[in-house]
């Protein structure tokens, strides 16, 4: 086997001869790293928008009737549009583009020792379609009738029948935007899977692939296998909405619960689609900052497979109060509770990896540790909702809302910050400021808990989701309940304002941060053997792999790490 | 145009050419899309006897003829693949053109069928059966149309003996479209 493989395509590229223009470099590039940056920046900008929406409607909830600074008075319809688009943006336009598309694009070729994606042009096209979906969503805010306000789950009849739907054009554009987004991610996901299967460096066996690459690939496969029924459902919904069909209209022989099945057959696996990349990012960080081999590499993989398979059997726990057969509810209770087993196992593997390690608490490690702690609360509170008996009481209360924020915020927000702070030196060639990073960390994690712990309590007390003004309901207006609502909202303000620290740190370090060495964290994986930032083509000579990615503190070696590409 | 290719495109760690691997994954993702709509249809069909009444109005002979046309076009796709394997680009292109012609006949016959049905009042809003009928068959027809377009592009390069491996890839896709129809035909036309 050849020791090194020269990069064949680099000399032919035009930019090897002259500097490309702005459009060619930043907008029309087929380089996987540039596409990753496009996804990262678009997704992060959308997160800011989604965060702004949260600020507006949380302010309305805590101080009903108050004019929200930066927005104004919030009408009931605007409130509905805000919560709908907050949910949709955070899942479809922030978590997926950042966790899967940005990290997938950046890491997969670099970590498997390839010079690019298997299909660079399809990769670029997938970003462009994603961008189009963002634009369509933006347009939906400004059309007649306003943005769609029927919740991100798009349940008919609110989303279908003209009788109930007050935002006809907004709905069409919203569903179209989601559909375009799916097309982009199907194309991107197929590219990831094929690249990871076929383009690995010589010597890299299946079990030498870093966990995060595995996780992004598995997530792409789960996405591909689950999104189909929703694509079909979206077509049916658009037809119901615009052509007058009656797939989901009970008056004319349709069934609105069919939509719930089609939606959640995708929607619940989607949780694991965004979870797995975050879990993978955390795995990389924990082994590096504990200087220990990952406790059980294959177990993590098998449990991730298990999670993937089980994720297709849990969706109907969203229908426990939609009138499904109680015998079916039993089955879905069991499968739903079962899925906590593999996910918990992954967390235990991480804790076992930490045990006895030489742990250093750099910013990425803080994020990784907080992921485990926070996500465990999310998982444990899920048990109450997976069991049909308790779910019938808690359904659609703020308990549900707090539960899924305790899973999605660790996944999307903490996972993103862990990944960005860890790979920033490789992405931009400079180091982030660790002190600002830690201020930002504590300023995010503490208020986060102060937002959602009160909401668990309010949920159990009966506060229902999707209500514009609680003071209109005497039983929800007890002073202590109003106080908890205010605490949650004020904590959100604090959490959002601390994001400025991160933005300052990010953009200051981007220009002025100290130059990053090739391998600042002394990590084993291949991406750290490329220049920081890696050039187009990644390496002058593509690497060859000799071992697995987590050989830290191997007895008898002088260094406590053993990069994958070092012969012995 | 074939020189500026990344190594990642040409490597084959899994032992299958990258393009073929990708097409299989595309097909996998398409199966679940059609799976969603077919499963919904079957659930409704089982719950509503009225479907049988509506289905009695479909033109089985047109559906059968179209099945025959589509299967024949798949045969040409196979012959095109065979020619491409032997390095005979021009012949592969001719076979692809015949395949595309089959697809075109399918679409023309379908347009005739739909016009007839719509003029008889069986529109997409006539009943849930007809909604499914037009949505499922329409999604399939869209795949046929896209397949024809791609096939013509592939034939264009194959004619000059370039990118011959693409003949197999478009053939795989075409067989998939064919098989979807094999499911739709009995469900929409025969199961009365």
Instruction: Give the pLDDT mean for A539-563.
Output: 93
For residue range A443-502, list pLDDT tens digits in order: 999 999 999 999 999 999 999 999 999 999 999 999 999 999 999 999 999 999 999 999
Task: Measure CB to CB from residue B33 to each of A200, A232, A254 and give the nearest one.
Answer: A232
Chain A residues with CB under 8 Å of B125 CB are: 243-246
- What is the least distance, in Å, from the CA of A265 to any CA of chain B? 10
**Residue A129's pLDDT band (boundaries 50, 70, 90)?**
very high
CB contact under 8 A, A245 and B127: no
**Mean pLDDT confidence for A7-22:** 54
| CB pair distance less than 8 Å for B32 and A197 | no
pLDDT tens, chain B, 192 aa long: 334 688 999 899 999 999 999 999 999 999 999 999 999 999 999 988 888 889 999 999 999 999 999 999 999 999 999 999 999 999 999 999 999 999 999 999 999 999 999 999 999 999 999 999 999 999 999 999 999 999 999 999 999 999 999 999 999 999 999 999 999 999 999 987
Query: Which of the four pLDDT bands, split at 50, 70 and 90, describes residue A6?
Result: very low
Q: How far is A12 from chain B (nearest CA, A)?
A: 6
Residues of A in contact with B31 (CB under 8 A): 228
pLDDT higher at A356 or A166: A356
Mean of the pLDDT values across residues A550-564?
93
Nearest to A120 by CA among A105, A132, A98: A105
More confident residue, A2 or B25: B25
Given this model, what pLDDT does residue A336 score?
95
- Separation of alpha carbons B173 and B180, rounded Å: 11
pLDDT of residue A114: 95
Nearest to A233 by CA among B119, B187, B43: B43
pLDDT at position A18: 62
Residue A14 pLDDT level (bands cut at 50, 70, 90):
very low
Say whether pLDDT at A162 is over 90.
no
CA A154 to chain centre: 20
Cis peptide before A157 (omega within 30 of 0): yes
Going by pLDDT thresholds of 50, 70 and 90, the confidence category of residue A16 is very low
Distance from CA of A324 to the nearest CA of B (A): 15
Chain A hits for B1, CB-CB cut-off 8 Å, are none
Count how many pairs of residues, chain A against chain B, have C-beta atoms within 8 Å.
148
Q: How confident is the model at residue A27 (pLDDT cuts 50, 70, 90)?
A: confident
- Say what the pLDDT of residue A20 is: 75
Minimal Cα–Cα distance from B55 to chain A, Å? Answer: 16
Residue A358 banded pLDDT, cuts 50, 70, 90: very high
How much is the pLDDT for B2?
37
Helix or strand (DSSP H, E) at A47:
helix A32-62
Asked if A116 and B30 come within 8 Å (Cβ–Cβ), the reply is no
A165: confidence class by pLDDT, cuts 50, 70, 90: confident
Identify the contact set of chain B against chain A, taking CB-CB distances under 8 A: 3-9, 11-14, 16, 18, 21-22, 25-26, 28-37, 39-40, 43-44, 48, 50, 124-125, 127-128, 131-132, 135, 139
| Cα–Cα distance, A137 to A140 (Å, whole number) | 5
Chain B residue closest in CA terms to A9: B4
Q: Taking residues A530-552, report their average pLDDT.
A: 93
| Residue A566 confidence (pLDDT) | 93
Chain B residues within an 8 Å CB radius of A243: 124-125
Residues A53-112 have pLDDT tens digits of: 999 999 999 999 999 999 999 999 999 999 999 999 999 999 999 999 999 999 999 999
Six-digit token pair at A421? 């702070």
Residues belonging to chain A: 568
Please write the tens of the pLDDT for every residue from A298-329.
Answer: 999 999 999 999 999 999 999 999 988 889 99
Contact A253 B34 (CB under 8 A): no
CB contact (8 A) between residue A245 and residue B135: yes
Instruction: Encode pLDDT of A498-521 as tens digits.
Output: 999 999 999 999 999 999 999 999
Helices (H), A113-208: 120-142, 168-198
Phi, psi (rounded to 5 degrees) for A242: -110, -25
Q: Decide if B29 and A200 are in contact by the 8 Å CB cutoff.
A: no
Rounded CA separation A457/A450 (Å): 12
Show residues of chain B in contact with A162, CB under 8 Å.
Answer: none
What does each C-alpha distance from B133 to A209, A371, B37 come to in angstroms? 46, 48, 10
List the single residue in B with minimal CA-CA distance to A183.
Answer: B29
Q: Which pLDDT score is estimated for B4?
A: 67
Task: Indicate yes or no: CB of B124 within 8 angstroms of CB of A239.
Answer: yes
For residue A161, the model assigns a pLDDT of 81
pTM above threshold 0.80: yes
Mutation site for B-interface testing, chosen from A24, A197, A248 by largest number of B Cβ within 10 Å: A197
Q: What residue in A sits closest to B31 (Cα-Cα)?
A: A228
Question: Are the beta carbons of B34 and A232 separated by less than 8 Å?
Answer: yes
CA gap A193, A179 in Å, rounded: 21
Asked whether the beta carbons of A203 and B13 are under 8 A apart, the reply is: no
How many Å lie between the alpha carbon of A356 and the closest alpha carbon of chain B?
37
- Give pLDDT, residue A10: 45
pLDDT at A48 over 60: yes
Q: What is the distance between the alpha carbons of residues A188 and A108, in angstroms, rounded to a whole number?
A: 12
Contact B139 A186 (CB under 8 A): no
β-strands A541-542, A5-6: how paired?
antiparallel
* Contact: B32, A5; criterion CB under 8 Å: no
- The answer to whether the CB atoms of B5 and A8 lie below 8 A apart is yes
Q: Which chain A residues have a beta carbon less than 8 Å from that of B135?
A: 235-236, 239, 245, 247
Q: pLDDT tens, A421-440?
A: 999 999 999 999 999 999 99
What residue in B sits closest to A197 (Cα-Cα)?
Answer: B14
**What residues of A are in contact with residue B36 (Cβ under 8 Å)?**
228-233, 262, 265
Closest Cα in chain A, distance from residue B45 (Å)? 11
Q: What is the DSSP string of A267-310?
A: HHHHHHHHHHHHHHHHHHHHHHHHTS--TTHHHHHHHHHHHHHH
Nearest CA in chain A to B132: A247
- Look at residue A481 in the predicted model and tell me its pLDDT: 95
For residue B18, the surrounding DSSP H or E stretch is helix B18-47
Instruction: Please state, rounded to an integer, the average pLDDT across all residues of chain A.
Output: 93
- Cβ–Cβ below 8 Å for B43 and A258: yes
């Amino acid at each position: 086997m050849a020791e090194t493989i020269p990069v064949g395509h680099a000399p032919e590229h035009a930019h090897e001869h002259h500097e490309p223009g702005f459009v060619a470099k930043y907008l029309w590039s087929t380089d996987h790293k540039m596409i990753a940056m496009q996804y990262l920046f678009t997704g992060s900008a959308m997160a800011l928008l989604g965060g702004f929406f949260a600020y507006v409607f949380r302010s309305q909830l805590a101080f009903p009737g108050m004019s929200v600074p930066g927005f104004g008075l919030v009408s009931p319809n605007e409130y509905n549009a805000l919560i709908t688009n907050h949910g949709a943006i955070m899942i479809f336009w922030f978590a997926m583009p950042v966790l899967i598309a940005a990290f997938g694009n950046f890491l997969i070729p670099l970590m498997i020792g390839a010079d690019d994606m298997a299909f660079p042009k399809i990769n670029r096209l997938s970003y462009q379609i994603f961008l189009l979906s963002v634009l369509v969503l933006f347009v939906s805010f400004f059309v007649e009738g306003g943005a769609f306000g029927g919740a991100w789950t798009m349940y008919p009849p609110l989303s279908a029948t003209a009788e109930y739907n007050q935002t006809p054009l907004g709905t069409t554009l919203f569903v179209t935007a989601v559909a375009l987004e799916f097309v982009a991610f199907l194309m991107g996901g197929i590219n990831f899977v094929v690249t990871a299967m076929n383009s690995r460096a010589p010597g890299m066996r299946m079990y030498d692939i870093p966990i995060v690459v595995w996780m992004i690939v598995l997530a792409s496969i789960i996405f591909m296998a689950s999104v189909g029924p929703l694509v079909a459902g979206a077509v049916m919904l658009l037809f119901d909405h615009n052509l007058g069909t009656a797939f989901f209209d009970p008056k004319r022989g349709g069934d609105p619960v069919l939509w719930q099945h089609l939606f959640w057959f995708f929607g619940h696996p989607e949780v694991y689609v965004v979870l797995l990349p975050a879990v993978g990012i955390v795995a990389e960080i924990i082994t590096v900052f504990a200087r220990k081999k990952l406790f059980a590499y294959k177990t993590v993989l098998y449990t991730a497979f298990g999670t993937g398979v089980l994720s297709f059997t849990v969706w109907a726990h969203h229908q426990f109060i939609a009138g499904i057969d109680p015998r079916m509810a039993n089955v879905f209770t069991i499968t739903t509770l079962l899925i906590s087993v593999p996910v918990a196992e992954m967390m235990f593997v991480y804790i076992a990896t930490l045990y006895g390690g030489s742990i250093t608490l750099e910013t990425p490690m803080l994020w990784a540790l907080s992921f485990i702690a926070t996500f465990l609360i999310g998982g444990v509170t899920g048990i109450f909702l997976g069991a049909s008996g308790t779910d019938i009481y808690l359904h659609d209360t703020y308990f549900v809302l707090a539960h899924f924020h305790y899973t999605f915020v660790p996944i999307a927000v903490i996972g993103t910050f862990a990944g960005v702070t860890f790979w920033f030196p490789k992405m931009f060639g400079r180091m982030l400021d660790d002190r600002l990073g830690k201020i930002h960390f504590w300023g995010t994690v503490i208020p986060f808990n102060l937002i959602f712990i009160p909401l668990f309590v309010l949920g159990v007390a009966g506060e229902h989701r999707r209500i514009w003004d609680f003071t209109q309901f005497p039983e929800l207006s007890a002073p202590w309940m109003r106080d908890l609502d205010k605490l949650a909202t004020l904590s959100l303000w604090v959490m959002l304002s601390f994001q400025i620290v991160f933005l300052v740190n990010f953009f200051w370090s981007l220009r002025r941060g100290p130059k990053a060495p090739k391998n600042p964290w002394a990590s084993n994986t291949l991406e750290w053997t490329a220049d920081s930032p890696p050039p187009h083509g990644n390496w002058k000579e593509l690497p060859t792999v000799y071992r697995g990615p987590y050989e830290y503190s191997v007895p008898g070696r002088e260094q406590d790490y053993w990069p994958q590409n070092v012969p012995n | 145009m074939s020189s500026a290719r990344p190594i990642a495109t040409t490597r084959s760690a899994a032992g299958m050419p990258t393009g073929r691997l990708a097409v299989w994954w595309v097909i996998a993702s398409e199966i679940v899309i059609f799976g969603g709509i077919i499963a919904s249809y079957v659930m409704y069909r089982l719950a509503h006897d009225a479907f049988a009444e509506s289905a009695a109005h479909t033109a089985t002979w047109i559906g059968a003829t179209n099945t025959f046309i589509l299967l024949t076009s798949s045969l040409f796709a196979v012959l095109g693949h065979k020619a491409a394997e032997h390095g005979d680009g021009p012949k592969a292109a001719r076979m692809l053109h015949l395949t595309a012609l089959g697809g075109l006949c399918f679409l023309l016959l379908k347009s005739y069928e739909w016009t007839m049905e719509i003029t008889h009042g069986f529109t997409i809003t006539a009943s849930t059966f007809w909604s499914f009928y037009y949505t499922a068959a329409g999604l399939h027809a869209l795949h046929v149309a896209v397949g024809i377009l791609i096939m013509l592009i592939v034939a264009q390069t194959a004619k000059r003996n370039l990118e011959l491996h693409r003949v197999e890839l478009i053939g795989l896709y075409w067989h998939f479209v064919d098989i979807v129809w094999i499911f739709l035909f009995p469900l929409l036309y025969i199961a009365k």
